[in-house]
Amino acid sequence: MPVLGAVLLSPVLPRISEHFAATPGSDVLVPVILTVPALFIALGAPFAGAVADKFDRKRLLIAAMVGYAISGTAPLYLDSIQAILASRVLVGVCEAAIMTCCTTLIADYWSGPRRIRYLGLQTLVTTVAATAFFALGGLLGAGGWRTPFWLYAVAALAAIPMALLLWQPAAAHHGGPHDGGPHDGGPHDGGPHHGDREPWPWRALAVPSLVTIGGGVVFYTLIVQLSYVLDGVGVSDPAVIGGVTALMSLATAVGAGLFARASGRGARVLLIAEFALSGLGLLLISATEAVPVIVAGAVLTGFATGLLLPTLLTWAVNRLPFAQRGRGTGLWTGALFLGEFLSPLLVSALAAVTGGLGLSLAVIGVASLVLAALVATVLTVPATPLNAAPAE
């Protein structure tokens, strides 16, 4: 559901702009319809995590899914751009709760290699869903700019099997402050978590969160900018642009699919390789006008970021005890989406300073290489295998 908000509306933004052309400031407000949920995911995820720790992960998730369906479909009957923006803010708040609760429950239900596998699968499914929703949004957009908003109603339908099949882990199954989730999954309806008695895990997540902000910027750069890059070298056919974007998404999915095997390495080794490959891919794109080389750079960056996200997530989640897991996951989710929200703003600012999109991508590429160097030399990143966490 959360990736729906990011990619569904991209194909119909020009139509929304046409509809609200007479509204003062619409040239600024219409693009914000697409990006404002990411900002409120970043702002809301830590608070959603606090609620999940203090009360109940499952109930918050179900409520957020229903709220997501209501606020997501609101533009079907709203006539002012200001009201639509307000509904998009609520979409972001609900997305924050959905992402935080889903990731927290994965970490609660499983540990060790199984947790690694499911966290990698989460990124894989998200990537495939983003590709499918992008195409579906374009098809539905042919029926009018409001039509794609109907897809948000799927969240209310999905809430039904979630309510029936998911379970709330019981606090009683987590004896000490550093004990993890139930052994391998089974329904346990527990009482309050007393997560509010535990301090926020600021120290444990300071470095992972800062690195994740950088990872969010790198991850989102080509998702937003690749079509502009291709247009700038003379590729204007939407089918070709869509094909290249799909190829990059496929590479991202392959990277995410390989994460379980790669997790035998430590976060330090993986992050160095992922940031280095992402940076090289962006530099390759910025240095050429040859379409095959641009495609190669996009595939390289997509593959690296597909591995990057589950690496960052596992590095953060593996450090969290049960009572702090919701808040810690919320902090990590907020950091990722802060990076994603900042990415297009940074690229635009860099393009204004450097005089072109190509040079701005080169700066992001160099920054990614610098992050790889910092992980290798300065930052405290564990070298132990990510899948070496003992079963809980």
Structural contact between residues 319 and 328, judged by C-beta atoms closer than 8 angstroms: yes
Range scoring the smallest mean pLDDT among 57-71, 142-156, 225-239: 225-239
Q: Is 266 helix (H, G, I), strand (E, B) or coil?
A: strand
Q: Which helix (H) or strand (E) holds 275?
A: helix 267-286
Overall average pLDDT of the 345-367 stretch: 90
Helix 81-109 to helix 291-317 angle (10° resolution) is 60
| Residue 96 pLDDT > 50 | yes
| Residue 187 pLDDT > 70 | no
Overall average pLDDT of the 154-171 stretch: 90
Q: Please, what's the largest Cα pairwise distance for the chain?
A: 62
Overall average pLDDT of the 368-377 stretch: 94
| Residue 3 pLDDT > 60 | yes
Rounded to 5 degrees, φ, ψ at 164 are -85, -35
> How far, in Å, CA of 278 to CA of 275, rounded?
5
Give me the domains of the chain, ranges plus CATH numbers.
Answer: 2-387 (1.20.1250.20)
If you average pLDDT over every residue of the chain, what do you get?
Answer: 84
Overall average pLDDT of the 225-252 stretch: 82
Cα 337 → chain centroid: 6
What was the pLDDT predicted at 286? 92
Overall average pLDDT of the 347-351 stretch: 88
What was the pLDDT predicted at 156? 94
Confidence of residue 357 (pLDDT cuts 50, 70, 90): confident
Structural contact between residues 337 and 45, judged by C-beta atoms closer than 8 angstroms: yes
Buried b (16+ CB within 10 A) or exposed e, 205-232: beebbebbbbbbbbbbbbbbbbbebbee
DSSP letter for each residue of 346-386: HHHHHHHHHTSHHHHHHHHHHHHHHHHHHHHHTS----SBG
Per-residue pLDDT of 261-309, as tens digits, reads 888 888 889 999 999 999 999 999 999 889 999 999 999 999 999 999 9
Range with top average pLDDT, 18-32, 85-99, 243-257: 85-99
> Greater confidence, 346 or 170?
346
pTM of the predicted model, to two decimals? 0.82
